[in-house]
Structure 1
């Protein structure tokens, strides 16, 4: 009788243990379901994003990320505004007007030295080869870089190309103080050169190249080009920037932002028509063929480099960046040279395999 009681107690204990275990599993499943539902219904992280320029071909990937749902898939709600200069984009992020944007790493270097702790951080390098160029009339008086002394240079206010003219001049023995800078609206820069109101313009090469075509001019025959990269300045240029505030308060949002844009950039690089078709939803008056040419020119000249083939999009070479920091610091007489981690971080990049470009478009 006693043995039976003990046996029943053991059976009862086993049954109770199984019941508790099943109950525990059900609770865990329920909690997981609640967590999944909560995540699905969570408010997306809002990010205000400033472009470097107007809605043109080379900005198509930003709109693809938005309109194709890449941002949404990453739990983001991104507001995109058009910009008025690569260096200006840096300033607007610093003021807190925007959380992130597309701007010039050399302006980041300057601000890291002058306003440490306030500068945006570049988390994805896109323009591996800087598109900076000085452009003059082929039949004009300027035959060499030295010849720009004493002449009028036109550029948009906030232009990274104008800002980096001083380092270019220093590298080539040009007295930049003798050059009068004329700031004008972006859509007037090429006209100022053609009409003779400026002797030289400082512009992104893809911008002027296509604008000359639209003006029925021959970019190669009618103009002489001085590319900074061919005249002693091996610089990086534009990439994805994020504010110090966003970095501190929501680093996961930064990671998701980079992932969404990396996906869109690769899609557009492989299929430029996708980019321009999306762009036309933003700017219905877009000239499809012209902007497609501008986009392909940018992809081929700024993105397809030996370094990108080795490292993948988004990353950069530390030695080359260190040299660029020194170049900018020397040219502007900065009180100190910022460290690389004040300027760029690869911590938010997707795996290298996810950042490799296809062979062609």
Structure 2
């Protein structure tokens, strides 16, 4: 059965499990012919699926929540939660003026207009006990976030950590030794992020195809987590112009900071905690000023997950 799957962005190491599942025949073993296309953003994944152009995609749970509140009949359903933690972070220089989150009070903080990290910043300040009115938000271009922080134009930056980590390496600095990262998920912003979602049409009409899709992706996920170098090699063979060593570092960072957590030790890869999802829905509603109620099963289904032992990472 043919399935069109859209990524969230251009091909990177964090997409290696999809390409591994295709190249190693895991999709075909489930009777699936999966076409993988590059994306234009995590939220765009959702709109592409809602338009009917794609059957599945790698995109943001929070965009699913937003659309499920306004267009429940069209919004896709997450069937395999890949990023257990959100990629939004506060980035500061180790030798800079901000020593912890409370140190943001009275400081200049850079954020691109409309960014997810910026929209969720009030949730972060609330969790950290900071008066947001004491923080000056400076609008910065997305491609200049790290440079403005390094030059001292801002004291901190609200970033997508998976991107900034590699950007800093590209600037000739060490993202681990020269900077501190305050990840939103570690700092009280209890939300999920990207995962594998499918259209309601695919879910309703071809549930076995969804089950096979999830099984194949999970199989490849486990392999990549256990051997990131193999994931980077798959991406290099798919996109020869990428830097294989850098993409391995991206995979390593994603596994450590976004994918494997204390929660995944309990619910397994791809799973969620329903009480936490309810809190996530409340956080997203508040951050985006949304009204209405939504049941967790409208945005996530665990019905298609492989058995827990197949999704367990040591």
Deviation at 1:56, TM superposition (A): 1.6
Relative to structure 1, is the Cα distance of residues 299 and 211 closer, same or farther in structure 2, using a 3 angstrom cutoff?
A: same
- Measured in 2, the distance between the counterparts of 1:179 and 1:339 equals 34
Residue of structure 1 equivalent to 2:159: 203
Relative to structure 1, is the Cα distance of residues 49 and 182 closer, same or farther in structure 2, using a 3 angstrom cutoff?
A: farther
8 Å contact kept, 1:169–1:176: no
Deviation at 1:178, TM superposition (A): 6.1
Deviations for 1:137-166, whole angstroms, at most 9, x for unmatched residues? 4555666333456x54137x7x54444335
Deviation at 1:311, TM superposition (A): 1.7
Residue of structure 1 equivalent to 2:105: 146
User: Which residue, out of 200, 213, 225, partners 1:244?
Assistant: 200
Aligned residues, how many?
Answer: 309
Which stretches in structure 1 are left out of the alignment for 5+ residues?
1-44
Relative to structure 1, is the Cα distance of residues 303 and 246 closer, same or farther in structure 2, using a 3 angstrom cutoff?
A: same
- Measured in 2, the distance between the counterparts of 1:219 and 1:91 equals 33
- Measured in 2, the distance between the counterparts of 1:167 and 1:92 equals 28
Relative to structure 1, is the Cα distance of residues 196 and 262 closer, same or farther in structure 2, using a 3 angstrom cutoff?
A: same
Residue of structure 1 equivalent to 2:189: 233
Higher helix share: 1
Residue of structure 1 equivalent to 2:45: 89
Instruction: Tell me the SS of whatever aligns to 2:219.
Output: helix
Deviation at 1:221, TM superposition (A): 4.5
- Measured in 1, the distance between the counterparts of 2:146 and 2:51 equals 31
Cα RMSD over matched residues?
A: 2.6
Relative to structure 1, is the Cα distance of residues 101 and 321 closer, same or farther in structure 2, using a 3 angstrom cutoff?
A: same
Residue of structure 2 equivalent to 1:215: 171
Choose between structure 1 and 2 for higher RCO, CA contacts under 8 A separated by at least 6 residues.
2
Residue of structure 2 equivalent to 1:103: 59
- Measured in 2, the distance between the counterparts of 1:283 and 1:176 equals 45
Equivalent residues in 2 for 1:243-262, closer than 5 Å: 243-262=199-218
Deviations for 1:207-253, whole angstroms, at most 9, x for unmatched residues? 22232123211224543433212322122211111112222232222
Instruction: Tell me the SS of whatever aligns to 2:72.
Output: coil
Bigger radius of gyration, 1 or 2? Answer: 1
Residue of structure 2 equivalent to 1:287: 243
- Measured in 1, the distance between the counterparts of 2:119 and 2:38 equals 20
2:76 is the counterpart of 1:120: yes
Relative to structure 1, is the Cα distance of residues 280 and 220 closer, same or farther in structure 2, using a 3 angstrom cutoff?
A: closer
Relative to structure 1, is the Cα distance of residues 267 and 230 closer, same or farther in structure 2, using a 3 angstrom cutoff?
A: closer
Residue of structure 2 equivalent to 1:174: 132
- Measured in 2, the distance between the counterparts of 1:57 and 1:339 equals 33
Deviation at 1:61, TM superposition (A): 0.8
Instruction: Tell me the SS of whatever aligns to 1:331.
Output: helix
